[in-house]
Chain A
Amino acid sequence: MKKFSRAMAIILSLLLVVGGLTACGPKETDGGKVAGEITDWVTYQTIASEMETFNFQYSQNAKELDVLNNCFDGLTTNDPYGNLIPCIAERWETPDGGKTWTFYLRKGVPWVDYQGNKKGEVVAEDFLWGLEWVLNFAKNDAINTSMPNQLIKGAKEYYEYTKQLGEEAKNLDLTKFKEMVGIEAPDDYTLKFECIDKYPYFQTVTVYNCLYPISGEFLKEVGVDGYRAITYDKLWYNGPYTITHFVPGNEKVLTKNPLYWDKSAKLFNTVTIKMVESTDNAFQMFQNGELHAITLTEANLQTIYRDPNHKYHKNLVEARPSKYSYQIHMNFDKRLPDGKPDTNWNTAIANAAFRKSLYYGVDWTDYLRRVNAINPLKTTNLCFTSFNLVTTSDGRDYTDLVMDRIGMRPSLEKYVRYDAEKAAQLKQQAMEELTAKGVTFPVEIDYYIAGSNQTALDSATVMKNVLEGCLGTDYIKFNIKTYVSSFAQEVRNPQLQSFSISGWGADFGDPINFLGQIIIDDDNAYYATTTTNANNITDPEFKAVFKEFTRLVLEANAITDDLDKRYEAFADAEAYALENALTIPLYYNIPWQLTHMNAYSAIYCAYGGHAARYVNRETSTELYTTEQYEEFARAYEAGKGGK
């Protein structure tokens, strides 16, 4: 046996040496004891959210945008209070109330390669190249065209033109584009847009990646196919970070751009994003000191919260709500799997009393506990539009205006929208009216979740319990159904769901970005055309309600000279929608976490993706405590008043 083990030892050591030759030295993360700032941030993502492209214009998913927003600068950015602040554009103006816009660009913003070597400077024409790329079907497959097509003069026409050209359109330069599209660069540092109509919010659209620059020289260097399939080590960057290391499904490293124009910005030396199999593995890594922040799972949270002596007990902090506002979207033209209309549901949901009984008759507290097990009521969301989107001239949040009108404010005492008495009355009314119309009770509710998603199943199970518990099984019957891979393909297109829960995050700063999604007779209304099927409503009474709502929205949208008036009018429309239960707002996402980062120092905005930027973030080598976070929140609120 001796011979054997010796042979084995030799082979093993050989293998290790071979493995070692290709390895680099280990990288130590900080382990300092004195609380200081962290210079190299390490965070995580689950493997499923690995980037699919480095082409910023082509990326449309949070998984790419969260990274690439750190790599590129556009005309504008946001501050921690959600205000729009200058970035490459030093200032901007609209002489005619929103139809034409002029942006004056900063000089000397460098383009760099991934190692931080200067490659060029950002000029106004780079923005033209960027928009041309987006609108050119042969180059970008129509990705990200929706916003420019709706807003910028000639954009849609140019898109159609390139589509007709086919493959040839790949060779287009800016000549035809300049001729057709309402964007021009009179000199290197001035950029002008001409919109289709008056859009008083157009400047906020510039944080969206469809209006970002691409260096013309760079495009010439790599070619069209080269940029489509670009990799991190070939890109030209102009943002705070460059990507210096990328192993798909494993990790990526963002390194501070040494030539970044904004010298006052506080940046990490590196930001490492590790791709983990599950949040559970991430928690293991956090405990080993391999990560700087962790969002807690149910089980972790329960363990830490219940045990006052737990080492993390004092470090539990609530994340800030994400920009997404979640609500229930009912399907007004539900189909059965064989394609026939589900008359029972469709008749019921067209009935005002039935809808309102869903709106007023459910105490969602237990369901909210799925979002935030400790402070469920804190996640209460009473409006469709998310808060922090726009403020009136006297500093009031737009959602305040809406809540004034519906007469409700979120409370930490009880779930405010739930009114048992009113619900019982509505239920009785609905049952009487609907039985007369031949509706059979209980009304079946089909709710769809992904077959592999246990979290969704758990939430759906709780929802079933909540709905049936509050409304009674004589009234509704909640069926949990599953799809395999695509909600859109398997459920939404065949219109099978009774309702679905969806989160909407704004692309720009105006309530129309929310309310415009649920109006009827508009091809761009996302929810109305895909989810609620509101255009197919046959019940005349209900149709009239939608018509009225749509009229209110369009009327508000026409007010472009006085923003306060505009917001008031939108608030009227939104309150009308809520009181008629056209949509049912549900929650904001506020999970618990352990972190070394002060979230109140980060960019925070209800539109665009700049909240993901690792800029000006305050960190501490010691884990933040619950009290510290409460203090941050207070200081933040105070600072807000000052704005």
Chain B
Amino acid sequence: MTSSNLVDISQVDVSTLDTSQLFSFVEYRAEAAEEIGYSEYSYWRSVWQNFIKRRTAVFMSCVFILLFLFTFIAGPIGKYQYNEIKPDSTKVFIRPNSEYWFGTDNLGRDYWCQVWYATQTSIKLSILVAMGEIGLGVIIGLVWGYVRKLDRLLTEIYNILIHVPTIIYMTLVALMVGQSFWILVGTLILFGWMQPARHVRNLVLMYRDREYNLASRCLGTPMSRILTRNILPYLTSVIILRLALSIPGAIGYETTLSYLGLGLGVETPSLGILLRNARNYFLDFPYLLIFPAINVSLITVTFYLVGNAFADACDPRNHV
């Protein structure tokens, strides 16, 4: 370190200097500006890089995507089409063979197309429901947590709604509105947002009054911007995990509802309905249970593992 051309400040009488001597404009260089403002860090790229390090999770998600895609081609490549299968009393309970790849059911109908059709229905249903309830839950949760005035009101509403048994809602909707795929999706979302909303609200409360948010508020940043830019990123990992877990949750819930007769209409087989039916046969004809059960398990395990891996990857603290 040399001090030859530096002015020893302590020895300079500041009052004698004019401002032009104290500050001077730096010459503008575009490249330099780039260097300072730019960092190699990209949130989503880091997420992605972290995620692909988890081999099992990556493998499972590939399996799941293939499974979902396969539900669309499984029908056409099978020997029987779902909307054409007919009962045939001479063909009941045939075990899987080259003609009936998954065997036949109690009415002598091809099981292959039923399983894949049901898998498709279940995946569609659960993804729609999970996205819907998380979406709605996050929006309500953010507002709930952030707007102080609404907290008391929303907490009370939550306390009341969460305690009315869902089966009462489901019965009423089934009786008054009817039963179909879209009605079920709608109802499940309508009564499923509460848990995620509560979770999000609790997290928002934790981050709301951090210094940088106070600063933002003082600078007059609109609420929507604080919520989406400052707070939401902190919640990504939790939201993803919830999303991943509510997909198997929705499948399980649909199974219970079918068991009670409040699920999908009979014309729309879901994995839940196939499993429910197979219960009556599986001791004698285990294949009727195994095929749908494998699909349910695959979906559940995938989302469990992928969700966990993705949530870890989303946490910025793991990005360094």
Contacts and interface: CB of A to CB of B under 8 A. Distances in A.
Contacts of A480: 266-267
B87 A452 contact: no
A458 interface: yes
Contact of B262 (A373, A449, A484): A484
B89 A278 contact: no
Contact of B174 (A284, A300, A484): A484
With a 10 A CB-CB cut-off, give which of A373, A482, A490 has the most chain B CB atoms. Answer: A482
Given A465-B86, A484-B174, 9 more contacts: A298-B280, A299-B106, A299-B280, A303-B284, A366-B89, A449-B266, A451-B265, A453-B261, A480-B266
Given A369-B89, A452-B261, A458-B107, A482 B179 contact: yes
A451 B87 CA distance: 19
Interface string A294-328: 00011110110000000000000000000000000
A453 B259 CA distance: 9
A462 B261 contact: no
Contact of B261 (A278, A279, A369, A450): A450
A484 B87 contact: no
A283 B175 CA distance: 34
A208 to B, nearest CB: 33
Contacts, number: 76
Interface in A270-307: 278-280, 283-284, 297-300, 302-303
Interface of A is mostly: helix
17 contacts: A278-B280, A298-B92, A299-B283, A302-B284, A303-B284, A366-B87, A373-B92, A449-B266, A451-B174, A451-B266, A453-B261, A454-B277, A461-B87, A462-B87, A482-B266, A484-B179, A484-B261
A444 to B, nearest CB: 16
Contacts of A484: 171, 174-175, 179, 261-262
Contacts of A482: 179, 265-266
Interface string B220-240: 000000000000000000000
A484 B179 CA distance: 8
A457 interface: yes
A299 B265 contact: no
A485 interface: yes
B276 interface: yes
A299 B281 CA distance: 5
B175 A297 contact: no
A498 B174 CA distance: 22
Interface in B223-275: 258-262, 265-267, 273
A298 B285 CA distance: 11
B183 to A, nearest CB: 12
A137 B258 CA distance: 39
A452 B93 contact: no
Interface residues of B, number: 28
Contacts of A278: 279-280
A379 to B, nearest CB: 14
A366 to B, nearest CB: 5
Interface in B68-96: 86-87, 89, 92-93
A368 to B, nearest CB: 10
A482 B93 CA distance: 26
Nearest to B92: A302
A105 to B, nearest CB: 48
Nearest to B267: A480
Nearest to A366: B89
B107 A462 contact: yes
Interface in A413-464: 449-454, 457-458, 461-462
A299 B278 CA distance: 10
A449 to B, nearest CB: 7
Given A461-B87, A462-B107, A482-B179, A299 B285 contact: yes
Nearest to A280: B280
Contact of B107 (A280, A450, A461): A461
Contacts of A449: 266
Nearest to B178: A484
Contacts of B175: 484-485, 490
A283 B283 CA distance: 10
B258 A452 contact: yes
A300 B284 contact: yes
Which of B260, B265, B284 has most chain A Cβ within 10 Å? B284
A272 to B, nearest CB: 24
